[in-house]
Amino acid sequence: MPSTFDQPSSPERASCSRSGDGPPEAGGQPGRWRGLRSMLIALCIALLLRWGVVEPRWIPSGSMLPTLQLQDRVLVEKVRQRLGLALRHDEIVVFRPPAALVARGYDPDKALIKRVIGLPGDLVEIRGGVLIRNGQPMADPWPARAMDYRFGPVRVPARQALVLGDNRNESLDSHLWGPLPLRNIQGRAVFRYWPPARIGLLD
C-alpha cells in the first residue's frame, strides 16, 4: 500500500572516473600525478554539479503516482531556485518539510516531492473532485483518481505556495498541513533518468 509520506532519501552517490592522460613518463611519477590530478578535477566537477546545479533523487513512495513510480530516479535542478527565479504552476518541486509537518513528527532531514498548484495570491479550492484556482476549474490531468476531499477556499499567503501529490488521495501535502514557505524549496524535479523505459523530461 503506497505510503502517504513522500521521502526521497539522501541523494544517490554520483561517481565518475577518468583515465590517465597518455602513458606514464619515465619513473612513473609525473604520469601518476597527472592521473591523480584528473581524478581530483573530475571529483570537484561532480560535487559542484551535485550541490550547485543538479542533484539526483530516488522516489521511495507512491504519493506522486502515476507521474513518478516507486524507485524512479530523477534529477533536481537547483539553479533557478538559487537565482530566485519565479516558481510556476504545475512544477514538481523538492523541499524541506515545513514547520507544521515537523511538529507532527516528520523527520526534518527528509525531503518531499510534490506539484505546485497554488502561488502567492492565488485563491485555491478543491470541490467535487475538481481543482479550482481563482474561480476557474483547472485542467488537472495528473491524478489517476478524482480527489475525495474538500479543501478551501484558501488564499495563498505571500512567499508561500500550495503543493499536492499527484496521487491526491494518498499524499501528505498542503491539503493537510497548509502552505509551504518558498524558502523551503530546494529545487525542481525536471528529468527522469531511470528506468530507461521512462527516461525523459517531467511535466
Q: Just list the catalytic residues.
A: 63, 114
Tell me the three-class secondary structure of the chain, residue by residue. Answer: CCCCCCCCCCCCCCCCCCCCCCCCCCCCHHHHHHHHHHHHHHHHHHHHHHHHHEEEEECCCCCCCCCCCCCCEEEEECHHHHHCCCCCCCCEEEECCCHHHHCCCCCCCCCEEEEEEECCCCEEEEECCEEEECCEECCCCCCCCCCCCCEEEEECCCCEEEEECCCHHHCCCHHHHCCEEHHHEEEEEEEEEECHHHCEECC
All three cell numbers of 186, joined, read: 530546494
